[in-house]
Amino acid sequence: MKKKGPGKKIVGENTGKVKRNKKGKPFTMISSNTTAGMKKGDTIMLPKGYPKSKGSNMLSGGNYTVQKLGPKKYGKLKSK
């Protein structure tokens, strides 16, 4: 089993609107390339109770870390 690294750092402002997949799970996409190596269009799977921005269906601004789940897919969002 591969050892997981420390994760990639993102900010909520670099993400788009929160949507739901076919299974009803919330996700968002990176809206621009990041210095952490994430590319525009990469998907972040969100946990239940993710921090929402007031008055909109977006991830709240702030610093987060995510773990890579697969190609262009990240999850395990944690607030910093």
How do the domains of the chain map onto residue ranges? 8-79
- Give the pLDDT confidence of 36-53 residue by residue, as tens digits: 888 999 999 999 888 888
Cα dist from 75 to 24, 50, 54, 70, whole Å: 15, 12, 22, 9
Q: Is the pLDDT of residue 7 over 50?
A: yes
SS3 sequence, 2-23?
CCCCCCEEEEHHHECECEECCC
**Structure pTM?**
0.83
User: pLDDT tens across 22-31, in order?
Assistant: 999 999 999 9
* Greater model confidence, 7 or 43: 43
CB 20 within 8 A of CB 7: no
User: Residue 78 — very low, low, confident or very high, per pLDDT cuts 50/70/90?
Assistant: confident
Angle (nearest 5°) at CA 11 between 10 and 12: 120
